Amino acid sequence: MRKSLLFLSFFWLLYAHKVNLFVYVKDNKVYCEGYYPDGKKVKGGVIRVYDKEKKPLLTGKTDENGIFSFIPKVKKDLKIVLDAGMGHKAEAEIKAEELPMIEKENREGEKKEESGSIKKEELKKLVSEVIDEKLTPIYKFLLKEEKEKNKILLREIIGGIGYILGIFGIISLFLKKKNV
């Protein structure tokens, strides 16, 4: 019995150290949302952004809504790490092709467009903004579904404990019959 109580106390420690990170790109920004399995937002969690070579690019903190956002300076694969303190960590990756176009400074010698035409980059930016606006409800829905999927319910915990106790019961039954 003491062993089962010891196991259960370790289980709760493992459960307590889970944190989730949802990362998406919207309006030329990368948004990072941190939350615990019970749906609570990670407030003041440290976000670290690394490139593919594990070189640190950026550090910040989540706000009261568990959100941190930034405009990427380079278009490369990024690894984002959320540290919510006391062992709560989560990681996410974002591919370079998911990142918005990085604005390039006008260079000398670059051909200037006629005043009545629209640049290809400007058109891409406008289309991207419209698409982002239309996709916002989908992002919110996906985030809600992700949170629901990662929740560990009390009935699942009790069910798991029941399975474990059942297995111990079957083992003790066989051991008891063997000794008789």
Say which residue, 3 or 41, is predicted with more confidence.
41
Cβ–Cβ < 8 Å for 120, 105: no
**Is 94 contained in some domain?**
yes
**Is 14 contained in some domain?**
no
Q: What is the CATH number of the domain that holds 126?
A: 2.60.40.10
**Is 112 contained in some domain?**
no
**Is 48 contained in some domain?**
yes
Write down the pTM of the prediction. Answer: 0.55
User: Residue 9 pLDDT more than 50?
Assistant: no
pLDDT for 111: 47
Q: How many domains does the chain have?
A: 1
pLDDT for 102: 64
Contacts of 98 (CB under 8 A, 6+ apart): 25
Domain membership of residue 141 as a residue range: 19-100+121-179
**Is 107 contained in some domain?**
no
pLDDT one-digit tens code per residue, 11-36: 544 555 588 898 888 878 899 999 88
pLDDT one-digit tens code per residue, 109-146: 444 444 556 788 888 878 877 887 777 778 777 877 77
**Is 27 contained in some domain?**
yes
User: Residue 3 pLDDT more than 70?
Assistant: no
CA–CA dist 150, 54 (Å, integer): 27
